[in-house]
Amino acid sequence: MTRAPAKGLPTPQEFEEQLARFINGTLLGGNAAVDRDSRLFEDGYMNSLRILDLIAMVEKTLDRRVPDRAVRLANFRTIATIVRAFHPDATSEAAASTTPDRIFERRENRARFASPLAALRARGDVALGGPGRVALSGFALDVLHAVDHTVSQWARELNATEHRYPSLIDPHVLKRAGKADSVPEDLTLHNDMFPPAVCYHAYPEWEGKTLRPEPTLLTARGRCSRYEDGSYVPLERLRQFTMREIIILGSRDQVDDARHSLVRQVSELVTMLELDAAIDLAADPFFTSADEGRRLMQQAAALKYELRLTIDEAGRTIAAASFNHHQDFFGTRFDIRLADGTPAHSGCVAFGLERWVLALCAQHGVDHRAWPDAAREWLEDHISTHGAEA
């Protein structure tokens, strides 16, 4: 039997009708006809300001706070899902839907995991050059090249062109990208800055241009720097690290199609390598933490997923890859347009290569001859290919 709604609250049906009026009338100004099953984020009805207004309306109408952990795509996808997630008559459904949006998971026996750093240092494959700095050679470098070569192959299959960028970036570019204020002074050199991600180099190339009908894709490998609050851990949290990115410019659907294709590729690689891993919804570093609307919007719209690889028997994980959809953030800031004159969407899929070295060696050891057959063959194939190319 259905419980009576709490005193003073609308019924679920009344709440649904109020949401429809608020979204269509107040948020969209009567310029759209969103119904109970319209996809609010995936079809572009929400932006960073509207999500704040929508959350405020839900809280005021139901006289209850919406916690950050509940701002998930599963809870805000449609008017119908908002009602199910937040109306007090559906508390059990709401609790279930606030769990992280996990789109892939693979579990392994973690009892065999071990820290590989001491063994790699003893062999000379990893050398520490000070806080947050490492040098790789030998086996560690072979593993890094194998991951990088694999991702480069995926990029070529997507018709991405290879680019090479400098180690430093003009601070005006980062300022326009909304990141200059988040780069500390000790990551600057002679009025230039060390980039926190490779893709920031790419957007000025297309500034003021109109894209072709097909998506524009490029790939680059570069050195990136992050402060990490001074808490550096070899191979895990570095002051400077190596990143391989695949960058996509195009329409909303073109960016998501490429991103989803690479999610599938990574999932297949993780399965083949027999890695303990998961792909989860995550926070998006391309928007500043002070921009609350964008932070909440990215949670609801699933703008970023992270691949997290396990590195010890306790189940601790590190983010080794990210799958990002920036919406039209950079298209607007750098005046990159689609053929219809609207700002282009952008996305990037980024791989922290040193972290892959750590996770692979933690899970399979530092002797590749003891690796699972498919993982050993993958590594040997890429070592021989890289040697031939070099």
Q: Which domains does the chain have, with CATH numbers?
A: 12-99 (1.10.1200.10), 103-389 (3.30.930.10)
Instruction: Report whether pLDDT(95) > 60.
Output: no
pLDDT above 70 covers a percentage of the chain that reads 86
Lowest mean pLDDT among 29-43, 49-63, 81-95, 139-153: 81-95
pLDDT (average), residues 22-41: 90
Instruction: Report whether pLDDT(172) > 50.
Output: yes
Instruction: Report whether pLDDT(46) > 50.
Output: yes
Q: How much is the pTM? A: 0.78
The answer to whether the Cα torsion of 50, 47, 201, 358 is positive or negative is: positive
Lowest mean pLDDT among 224-228, 266-270, 330-334, 349-353: 224-228
What's the confidence (pLDDT) of residue 180? 59
What's the confidence (pLDDT) of residue 189? 65
Instruction: Report whether pLDDT(228) > 90.
Output: no
What's the confidence (pLDDT) of residue 267? 95
Residue 287 pLDDT level (bands cut at 50, 70, 90): low
Lowest mean pLDDT among 175-179, 258-262, 312-316, 369-373: 175-179
> Does residue 151 or residue 88 have the better pLDDT?
151
What's the confidence (pLDDT) of residue 302? 73
Shortest CA distance to 274 belongs to which of 379, 126, 121?
A: 379
The answer to whether the Cα torsion of 53, 58, 64, 66 is positive or negative is: negative
> Does residue 182 or residue 98 have the better pLDDT?
182
What's the confidence (pLDDT) of residue 52? 87
Residue 47 pLDDT level (bands cut at 50, 70, 90): confident
CA quadruple 109, 115, 117, 122: dihedral, nearest 10:
-100
What's the confidence (pLDDT) of residue 124? 96
pLDDT above 90 covers a percentage of the chain that reads 65
The answer to whether the Cα torsion of 74, 79, 81, 85 is positive or negative is: positive
Tokens for 368?
């590749």
Angle at 149 between CA 389 and CA 323, to 5 degrees: 155
Shortest CA distance to 85 belongs to which of 76, 196, 221?
A: 76
Residue 318 pLDDT level (bands cut at 50, 70, 90): very high
Out of 49-58, 74-83, 349-358, give the one with best mean pLDDT.
Answer: 349-358
Q: CA–CA distance from 381 to each of 136, 142, 385 (Å)?
A: 20, 11, 6
Instruction: Report whether pLDDT(91) > 60.
Output: no
Do 225 and 182 contact (CB within 8 A), yes or no? Answer: no
Q: Helices in the chain by DSSP H: which ranges?
A: 12-21, 48-62, 73-76, 79-86, 91-97, 117-122, 138-157, 171-176, 252-272, 292-301, 329-333, 353-364, 373-389
Instruction: Report whether pLDDT(338) > 80.
Output: yes
Longest dimension (CA), the chain: 74
What's the confidence (pLDDT) of residue 181? 57
Instruction: Report whether pLDDT(7) > 80.
Output: no
Tokens for 295?
């932070």
Q: Give residues with Cβ within 8 angstroms of 23, minimum separation 6.
A: 34, 40, 45, 54, 79
CA quadruple 86, 90, 95, 100: dihedral, nearest 10:
-60
Residue 103 pLDDT level (bands cut at 50, 70, 90): confident
Q: Centre a 10 Å sphere on the Cβ of residue 169 and count the other Cβ atoms it contains.
A: 24
The answer to whether the Cα torsion of 381, 382, 385, 386 is positive or negative is: negative
